[in-house]
Amino acid sequence: MTPSEHLDATFTALADPTRRAILARLARGEASVAELAEPFAISQPAISKHLKILERAGLVSRSRAATRRPCRIEGAPLAAANAWIERYRDLWESNYRRLDTLLDELQPERKPTPPKP
C-alpha cells in the first residue's frame, strides 16, 4: 500500500461508530473476538467483519500464537492520520482566534459584574 492508500484504509476504518468503539475498548487492553462482541448488540461474525477492516488499515493486529488470538490496537496508522489532519491545525485555530477577537470586541458592551459580597 502507498501512504495515500494507507490513509484511505485508516479513515475508512474510523468512519464507523462500532469500529471506533472497538478501538476504544482495545486501548484499555487486548481482547478476544468474543470479549469484543459482548458489549455490542451484534453477532461475532459482524464483529469479525469490522475487525477485518481495522486489520486491513493496520489499526488492529492479532496474535497468531495463542488459540484465543487476542486483538490489540496499533498506534502507527493513528499517528499517520493525525499527521495529515495536523497540517490544517492553523485553519481551525485561526477560526477560534477570529471568534476570540469577536468576543473581545463585544466585551466592553457587557455590564461589569457586581463585586462579591
Q: Which residues would be at the binding site for its own copies (CB under 8 A)?
A: 4, 7-12, 14-17, 20, 23, 27, 73, 75-76, 78-79, 81-82, 84-89, 91-95
Shortest spacing between CB 36 and its own copies, in angstroms:
17
Nearer to its own copies, 27 or 42 (CB): 27
Q: How far is the CB of 75 from its own copies (least distance, A)?
A: 3
Using CA atoms of 40, 41, 46, 52 in order, give the dihedral in degrees to the nearest 10. -10
Give me the residue label for grid cell 477570529.
Answer: 98
First to last CA, the chain: 67
Q: Give whichever of 88 and 108 is closer to its own copies, judged by the CB atom.
A: 88
54 within 8 A of 77, measured Cβ to Cβ: no
CB nearer its own copies, residue 37 or residue 73: 73
Please state the φ and ψ torsions of residue 61, each to the nearest 5 degrees: -120, 155
